[in-house]
Homo-oligomer: A and B are copies of this chain.
Amino acid sequence: MVNQAESILKSSALSITSSRKKILDVFLSASTALAHQDIEKLADQYDRVTIYRTLQTFLDRGIIHTIPTTDNTIKYALCSDDCISSGHHHDNHVHFLCDQCGRTLCLDDVMIPAITLPNGYSMKEINMVVNGICKLCRA
C-alpha cells in the first residue's frame, strides 16, 4: 500500500517533499483540528516559515480548510473526501470548540442548516462554530 500522504500530494499535483509528507501525517494522525503552533511542535524538525508556506499551499489546493474560532486562533483541518472531490470547496458540517481542553472537532454528523439571506446577498461559504464542553471533558 502506498503512503496515504504521498497519494494526497500526487492527486493535488504537488511535488513530494519530506516536510509536506510530515505535515500531512500530522493531520492524518490528529483527531482534532490543529493550530499553527500545534503543527510547529509536532513537526519541529522543519522551519517555521516552511510550515507557514506548506499550510498556505495545502489551503490553496483545498487539502485543508480553516475553521474560524472565537479566540483569534486559526485552526486547520483536513478536508473530508467529498469536500476535496467536489471541485468547489464546501465544508458543510458544524465545528465544535471545547472551552475546557481547547480542542476543535469536526462534527461530521451535524450538518449546517440552510438559512435565507436578505435580498442582494450571495453566499459562497458558511461556517458554524459551537463553543462548549466536549464529550471527553464531560465524561
Contact = CB atoms under 8 A, between A and B. Distances in A.
Interface of A: 66, 68-70, 72, 74, 94, 96, 99, 107, 109-110, 112-113, 115-135, 138-139
B110 A115 contact: yes
The 3 closest A-B pairs by CB, nearest first: A120-B135, A68-B68, A125-B131
Copies of this chain: 2
A68 B70 contact: yes
A124 to B, nearest CB: 4
Contacts of A133: 121-122, 124
A119 B66 CA distance: 25
Contact of A110 (B96, B116, B120, B128): B116
Nearest to A68: B68
A72 B73 CA distance: 7
